[in-house]
Chains A and B, each alone.
Chain A
């Protein structure tokens, strides 16, 4: 998992996304540390123009972070996440790639990565550490916990856990799916957003009306009820469904906007890295 991430990160985007992360969570303090070459994504105002002029290429000022951040990954490991996503890939795999990317960025930056994961039955907490081995364990845990025969999903349980257990301000990254938040959940999330710095990554759910799936049987992992294939070929219904998917995504985006949460919806593994980049960028500009 991390190897793939590493390859992804090492290719075109690694530097870019690292810079993005750094500029978002740089933990700026008054204590100047040193200079280093400019990396795309660095804040322009951190560029030491005098040093740049002397040196001949852009140099960025680095400060000693006033304290380490703790990034808490809130991940649903119920069986909803073992279902298929919008691209036909398993949502769990997309979630792990996203969690790995964010965790990797955090660790590279020197932040602690913690995990709050669970189902409707139980919520587990893995305290923050700074090593890649720790991150790997976290990803392993997500991977093994998320199974089709696992317990039902209940992301609210994990969010409640976060709101109950953590007093200190944290960076909370929620990895959820297309399910719209109910009213009481919105209240909970609003409270969390006031206390913590929140980012929300949505993994798009399966396209139920996908044409090449219309002949295959389909069932809802929540209650094993089938989704009748004879209706999944209906052109009018397909149009209505696509419309509703777009509308739902827009509604949840508006909701997160109103709750001051940076959010992003990704649909497949290839869109995870760019998606996180955009998420961080949006978060930076929102200046929450």
Chain B
């Protein structure tokens, strides 16, 4: 809770002091001018009466109440004009993301795929507005589920795929072996890039590609071509490569190509050895996205004048009542 117009209470205080000073001066002047005070004797004839004491006590109470009401009213006005508000910092574009999980489901990749699925399963509980799609590919790409923000559904699907990874004859492989070869990464990425819908919307689009970039067979799109397609469609690609290790020098060439393609698309490249590192990689991707996505964080101020307005009206009512009673 903070105030928008911090100077308002000061202005109110200054104005109040000014008014009080003016009134006091005016009253003094009038007092000084009125020389025709009535001289009387034995005021105790009146002031000693019990009725007088009662009337005086009542009057005092009324005046105290009246002054208290005025002070309360000024205080409430000061608070109202200071405009108390709750400030929320938000980045709407972060919730405006479309993420396609692009998983290479060749045998060596399963454990990494599983780790990515676990992370995203837990991330779905924090998402508000993000859409996720899951595409698995081997020789050909299959949409496991399309872009959706139905997080219960996403969670169920991710869980199902997680259990299928353990099966001997998994059904998730259905339709992924229809190409000329296996692990056709370029084709897979190109397929993933084309999975985005609502291309006219201002949304942040990214692909998380999990592969070792070991290609067997003839692909239609090479990886650089697929990356160029992603750039063309304003899609960032984040690559996770479990195969990029010093021990596998024969893979170096693939890894270099992979890294270059990722960087060219405006995404990032994460080589890793252990599936346990995947959560931190996904965190890094999230952070990277937050940094890359343009636009200042949106400051939302939610003002709360209602209780003060209600209180002010209450006090005003009491003030009028007291004024009427005092005048009577």
Contact = CB atoms under 8 A, between A and B. Distances in A.
Contact of A241 (B37, B45, B59): B45
Contacts of A217: 31, 34, 37-38
Contacts of B51: 236-237, 240-241
Given A231-B55, A231-B56, A234-B55, A221 B49 contact: no
B55 A208 contact: no
Interface in B24-42: 31, 34, 36-42
A43 interface: no
Contacts of B55: 231, 234, 236-237
A248 B56 CA distance: 22
**Interface SS majority for chain A:** mixed
A179 interface: yes
A244 interface: yes
5 contacts: A217-B34, A220-B42, A227-B47, A231-B59, A240-B52
B43 interface: yes
Contact of B40 (A179, A221, A231, A237): A221
Interface of B: 31, 34, 36-43, 45-47, 49-52, 55-56, 59, 326
Interface string A169-189: 000000001110000000000
Output the residue of B31, B41, B51, B52 with the most chain A CB within 10 A: B41
A219 B41 contact: no
Given A231-B55, A237-B51, A216 B39 contact: no
B40 A206 contact: yes
Given A216-B36, A236-B51, A237-B55, A248 B45 contact: yes
A174 B299 CA distance: 89
A219 B39 contact: yes
Interface bracket on A = 35 or more
B56 A222 contact: no
A230 interface: yes
Interface in A205-230: 205-206, 208-209, 213, 216-222, 225, 227-228, 230
A208 B46 CA distance: 7
Given A205-B45, A227-B46, A230-B59, A237 B38 contact: no
A268 interface: no
Nearest to A206: B40
Question: Which 6 pairs between the two chains have the least Cβ-Cβ distance?
Answer: A240-B51, A220-B43, A83-B41, A80-B41, A206-B40, A218-B38
A237 B52 CA distance: 6
B38 A206 contact: yes
A149 to B, nearest CB: 10
A218 B43 CA distance: 10
Contacts of B39: 82-84, 148, 219, 221
Contact of B45 (A82, A208, A225): A208
B40 A177 contact: no
Contacts of B37: 216-219
Contacts of A80: 41-42
A245 interface: yes
Contacts of B46: 208-209, 227, 237, 241
A221 B42 CA distance: 8
Nearest to A245: B45
Given A206-B38, A220-B41, A248-B45, 16 more contacts: A91-B41, A179-B41, A179-B42, A205-B40, A205-B45, A208-B40, A209-B46, A217-B34, A218-B37, A219-B38, A221-B41, A222-B42, A231-B59, A240-B51, A241-B51, A244-B45
Contacts of A227: 40, 43, 46-47
Contacts of B59: 228, 230-231
Contacts of B42: 80, 177-179, 205, 220, 222
A231 B38 contact: no
A199 B301 CA distance: 88
A228 B326 CA distance: 14
A177 B56 contact: no
Contact of A206 (B41, B50, B52, B326): B41
A241 B31 CA distance: 27
Nearest to A76: B41
A36 B300 CA distance: 114
A237 B40 CA distance: 18
Contacts of A213: 38
Contact of A84 (B34, B40, B52, B56): B40
Contacts of B40: 83-84, 205-206, 208, 218-221, 227
Nearest to B63: A230
A90 to B, nearest CB: 8
A226 B139 CA distance: 106
Nearest to B326: A230
